[in-house]
Structure 1
Amino acid sequence: MAPDKDPAAAIQQLTEKIHHLNYQYYQNSISEVSDFEFDQLLMQLHDLEQQHPELKQPNSPTQRVGGTITKNFPTVYHKYPMLSLSNTYSEEDLREFDNRIQKAIGETVEYVCEQKFDGVAISLTYEQGNFVQGATRGDGTRGDDITANVRTIRDVPLQVRGEQLPELFEVRGEVFLPLPVFEQLNQEREEAGEQLLANPRNAASGTLKQQDSSIVASRKLGCFSYSFHCSPNPFDSHAESLEAIKKWGFQVSPTWRTCRNIDEVLAYIQEWETRRFELPIATDGVVIKVNSYALQQELGFTAKSPRWAIAYKYPAMSATTKLEGIQYQVGRTGAVTPVALLQPVLLAGTVVKRASVHNANEIQRLDLRLGDTVLVEKGGEIIPKITGVDFEKRPADSLPIIYPTECPACGTALIRTEGEAHFYCPNDEGCAPQIQAKLEHFISRKAMNIDGVGPETIEQLYQKGLVRNAADLYDLTTEQLLSLERMGEKSVANMLAGLQKSKEAPYDRVLFALGIRYVGSTVAKKLAEHFTDIDALRGALPEELVAVNEIGTRIAQSIQLYFQNPDHVQLVERLKAAGLQLKSTSTAPALESDKLAGQTFVISGVFESVSREELQSLIVAHGGKVVSSISAKLNYLVAGDKMGPAKLEKANKLNINILSKEQFLDMIS
């Protein structure tokens, strides 16, 4: 982005652009530009403000850390500001940083080097050894109180004991999504035809903003702690505090190192440029800190960052290679996904032969052609992806890639639903990859979790014609299983015992295992709570389905389409006959009162200090019913901030009673 010749216009333009990028990154977990591009924009603005200080705006992004406060969580103020770090991409800047330190201190300084984990910074506060508050960085001065969500992270101790334990202290860390969990999430989203998560950092950020802590717990987030704050500080150095909090039970990455001078710092950076890809978390650089706390105090802070620390950022890993072909894979839901077949190239320490293209829209956007020289990147993204084409090297006789109109596995004509990016094969009962993927989903850990059965076993069972759907698994005999390769008597006994054990899996797990499109594990739990058996779900009307919290029209339509298929109805009946749990065993909660009996409610908007789920539970607990749409039969609309104007207009037109959160609570008090 080239600045305008008019400095006032250029500052305005850059300020608006950076504010927008900050909002997208911190609030929506969207990275519209690379870190390098963002830093360049910030540097341009900083230089212009230095040249024209009279034009600097009060809310300039050069004067703040970044981010804003969401309305979903209470706001808390940080006792110690959570400032950002200055970034550099060059050895020259690091040596200049060291020169400034030595000039200020008058001697060679010892540093601590740490991996710059690409996650979400959080603050953890402890009183008398007990965890009392978890907060996001927010704007550096105040952040969101996400204590309930942080409690679900196993790496965060809820109680600590140890020597030199102050009554009140704060530990800071980086919350991250482990790479295997991230890859599994993306696989599930791709099969469901949903947009893929761009990188683990965005996924971790989105997870921490969930209102339902059970979703956060299911993501198995990790947390590496990297700093200690207390007044007075019982430790003399940063290294000493890291050793102490590790003994107290905090997870401290073993990758940090004390360096006696800047040359050792540079050696550490060089060593980890490739080693970082061995870690279970994405990293994008190295943080260098002055080790001595006394020297840190002496060096102090600028308005937005400490003078005693700096971040060195590795450039995004990229390479150019030749696109040799496109392979089309068919997933569990029938989504046909293109995968680029590349001339092997070394990238980020591994040889890359395949890259993600996502869908037909992406092929068209990039104008990909076979034989093209393409740019492949693996920066924050774990799965290599094609990001561009070198059109100057395009062969003269190249032809555009024509997306198939028929399923590459079974030849069925592909369909594409309006508004969706993926093409689908509708032959879900006769397309081999779909059938095998459905069976693998059924036996998976989050579904039926059947011991003794794996993808290789499923493939053998399918190839021999022994299994065509999930119900067939429960009809298998010892003799049939002994005919499989590498299946002895002990393996067969384990598999049959695993199948028998799976009959104890709760209703919501079986519902998830069916593989209904858009019905993930969380949606399955909500459906199982609302519709106490599979027959009630099968007979539910569209308006009854969307009345369930977080069940929208798309999910409701998918459920109805599933049960309109006679093969699916037969499958469910066979599973029921086999003894699987297809009804809820939990009893309905006792009513607190009948104050809302016979009354219907729609909840819309965002509410301070209470979630929509909590409001819905209160309505049900007092005998009321929650519906999703406004009609003349509706009794009340509970309205919060940011409610859609169309809903409000319709409610007023139909003379619906509109309640604030406080008015609703008064009704049941």
Structure 2
Amino acid sequence: MVKSITCRKKVVYHLDFYMTIQDQILTLRRELRKHNENYYLLDAPTISDFEFDKKLEQLKQLEKKYPEYNDINSPTHQVGGAITKNFKTIVHTRRMYTLENTYLKNELQDWVGQISSTLSDKVSFCCEPKYDGISISLTYKHGNLWRAITRGDGLQGDDVTAHISNIKTIPLKLIGNYPQKFDIRGEIVMPKVDFEILNKKRKDRGESEYNSSQSAASASLKFENIHEMSCKNLIFLPYSIVGKDLTINTHSESIYMAKTWGFKVSNLISEVSSFDAIVNCINDTSIERQKLPYDIDGIVIKVNHLTHQKELGFTENAPKWAVAFKFESSDFSLKENEWSFKNWLNGVWGA
């Protein structure tokens, strides 16, 4: 097998053809845009998350090495998601970010170490399930649901307010002592049982089945005829609250407060203060996820105190104070994932 060789004139010899660096970058961008379209618009992904992440990382490294080919419209500058033509587009009041992820505990330990060495105070973390669903931002004014917007590209998303009014776990009117105006972000997931029933119905009708409960949830949420939607049993699970003048000090406190306002909250959320405790949460959740009525694909670890989050800040697309530890997938080995998170750590912390 012929290996790829980078030549002085920025030409890559790969198998039986020559491809310039610029052509390679443009090809990766086209492929990634197509895969984004398949995933977010058509709900029909053709490659695994790992394969997509690998192509994206390859593009990031090429753009970093050859900045003369930088393009602000490159997939590397975008948060996953897309805007559809069937819905009104709304700009997010506050940007919605993506998360960096890893599959290796030693890389997670490096991240915890970097956080601890950067912050002068004692650091606590919050561990919560990584819900395998559709990210959405709900805006409440004076206790009433005002608007629901999908994450989209992080800067703007689809207005699906009318489409989520049937979801039982999204309160139209809050209870308790709540802020006058705030956004609550979370994931909309489809229960495993409903996913199986929906796919059986589609199969019986001779229609193509959905690849995952996530794609099924997305399709149900964006069904054009609201009255024909199959989303009553969809579940909204909050993962953050943002707004001005919020009297909340920690991330875990914000999630617990959401429960008092009428939201459904996972009982697998834990506050911890060490890497060993984080590993225990990962192991426990990995076992418990089989019993959950909906799919999760990992654990999200966040720096718990909001002042610490503010101090750490963000990269272009992701917070420095949070990372997703993803469970192993059966379609690729854990070893193959070593490249992604290490490169991110090196770029963020200068390791």
Q: What's the TM-score bracket when you normalise by the shorter of the two chains?
A: 0.7 to 0.9
Is 2:167–2:232's contact at 8 Å kept on the other side of the alignment?
Answer: no
State the alpha-carbon separation in 1 of the partners of residues 267 and 162 from structure 2.
28
State the alpha-carbon separation in 1 of the partners of residues 212 and 193 from structure 2.
12
* Pair 1:182 & 2:191 matched: no
RMSD of aligned residue pairs (Cα, Å): 1.7
Question: What does residue 96 of structure 2 align with?
Answer: 82
- Please state whether the residue corresponding to 2:162 is helix, strand or coil: helix
* CA distances 1:122-152 after superposition (whole Å, capped 9, x unpaired): 1110000000101100110000100011111
- Please state whether the residue corresponding to 2:127 is helix, strand or coil: strand
Is 1:207–1:215's contact at 8 Å kept on the other side of the alignment?
Answer: no
- Please state whether the residue corresponding to 2:118 is helix, strand or coil: helix
Alignment of 1:437-448 (within 5 A): none
Alignment of 1:243-322 (within 5 A): 243-317=256-330
- Please state whether the residue corresponding to 1:106 is helix, strand or coil: coil
| Amino-acid identity (%) | 38
State the alpha-carbon separation in 1 of the partners of residues 58 and 331 from structure 2.
25
Change (3 A) 1:307 1:268: same
* CA distances 1:557-586 after superposition (whole Å, capped 9, x unpaired): xxxxxxxxxxxxxxxxxxxxxxxxxxxxxx
Is 1:176–1:221's contact at 8 Å kept on the other side of the alignment?
Answer: yes
State the alpha-carbon separation in 1 of the partners of residues 204 and 82 from structure 2.
34
Is 1:153–1:217's contact at 8 Å kept on the other side of the alignment?
Answer: no
Question: What does residue 349 of structure 2 align with?
Answer: none
* Pair 1:166 & 2:172 matched: no
Alignment of 1:216-615 (within 5 A): 216=229, 219-317=232-330
- Please state whether the residue corresponding to 2:237 is helix, strand or coil: strand
State the alpha-carbon separation in 1 of the partners of residues 73 and 155 from structure 2.
14
Letter in 1 for 2:226: S
Report how far residue 233 of structure 1 moved.
Answer: 2.0
Letter in 1 for 2:142: Q
* Pair 1:214 & 2:217 matched: no
Letter in 2 for 1:86: E
Report how far residue 66 of structure 1 moved.
Answer: 2.3
Is 2:186–2:237's contact at 8 Å kept on the other side of the alignment?
Answer: yes
Letter in 1 for 2:238: S
Question: What does residue 203 of structure 1 align with?
Answer: 216
Question: What does residue 117 of structure 1 align with?
Answer: 131
Is 1:73–1:144's contact at 8 Å kept on the other side of the alignment?
Answer: yes
Q: Gaps (5+ residues) in structure 2?
A: 6-10, 13-19, 333-351
State the alpha-carbon separation in 2 of the partners of residues 130 and 261 from structure 1.
39
* CA distances 1:594-617 after superposition (whole Å, capped 9, x unpaired): xxxxxxxxxxxxxxxxxxxxxxxx
Is 2:199–2:210's contact at 8 Å kept on the other side of the alignment?
Answer: yes
Letter in 2 for 1:20: K
State the alpha-carbon separation in 2 of the partners of residues 220 and 59 from structure 1.
37
State the alpha-carbon separation in 2 of the partners of residues 236 and 25 from structure 1.
36
Report how far residue 208 of structure 1 moved.
Answer: 1.1
* Pair 1:26 & 2:50 matched: no
Change (3 A) 1:114 1:50: same
State the alpha-carbon separation in 2 of the partners of residues 99 and 45 from structure 1.
28
Letter in 2 for 1:186: N
State the alpha-carbon separation in 2 of the partners of residues 75 and 284 from structure 1.
29
Change (3 A) 1:277 1:318: farther
Aligned residue pairs, count: 317
State the alpha-carbon separation in 1 of the partners of residues 324 and 71 from structure 2.
26
* Pair 1:133 & 2:180 matched: no
Question: What does residue 538 of structure 1 align with?
Answer: none
TM-score (structure 1 length as normaliser): 0.46
- Please state whether the residue corresponding to 1:258 is helix, strand or coil: strand
* Pair 1:104 & 2:118 matched: yes
* CA distances 1:83-118 after superposition (whole Å, capped 9, x unpaired): 100111111221121122122213442111111111
Alignment of 1:650-665 (within 5 A): none
Tell me which of the two structures has the higher relative contact order, counting C-alpha pairs closer than 8 angstroms and 6 or more residues apart: 2
Change (3 A) 1:221 1:265: same
Q: Gaps (5+ residues) in structure 1?
A: 320-669
State the alpha-carbon separation in 1 of the partners of residues 290 and 70 from structure 2.
41
Is 2:168–2:232's contact at 8 Å kept on the other side of the alignment?
Answer: no
State the alpha-carbon separation in 2 of the partners of residues 261 and 101 from structure 1.
11
Letter in 2 for 1:22: N
- Please state whether the residue corresponding to 2:201 is helix, strand or coil: helix
State the alpha-carbon separation in 2 of the partners of residues 30 and 117 from structure 1.
19
State the alpha-carbon separation in 2 of the partners of residues 170 and 293 from structure 1.
16
Report how far residue 218 of structure 1 moved.
Answer: 5.5
Question: What does residue 638 of structure 1 align with?
Answer: none
- Please state whether the residue corresponding to 2:229 is helix, strand or coil: helix
State the alpha-carbon separation in 1 of the partners of residues 37 and 287 from structure 2.
32
Change (3 A) 1:94 1:21: same
Which of these residues, 10, 19, 23, is aligned with residue 9 of structure 1? 23
Is 1:123–1:170's contact at 8 Å kept on the other side of the alignment?
Answer: yes
Letter in 2 for 1:314: F
State the alpha-carbon separation in 2 of the partners of residues 191 and 15 from structure 1.
38
Which of these residues, 33, 37, 40, is aligned with residue 54 of structure 2? 40
State the alpha-carbon separation in 2 of the partners of residues 318 and 65 from structure 1.
25
Which of these residues, 43, 47, 52, is aligned with residue 66 of structure 2? 52
Is 1:152–1:217's contact at 8 Å kept on the other side of the alignment?
Answer: no
State the alpha-carbon separation in 1 of the partners of residues 212 and 239 from structure 2.
22
Is 1:125–1:133's contact at 8 Å kept on the other side of the alignment?
Answer: yes
TM-score (structure 2 length as normaliser): 0.86
* CA distances 1:368-419 after superposition (whole Å, capped 9, x unpaired): xxxxxxxxxxxxxxxxxxxxxxxxxxxxxxxxxxxxxxxxxxxxxxxxxxxx
Report how far residue 38 of structure 1 moved.
Answer: 1.1
Is 1:153–1:221's contact at 8 Å kept on the other side of the alignment?
Answer: yes
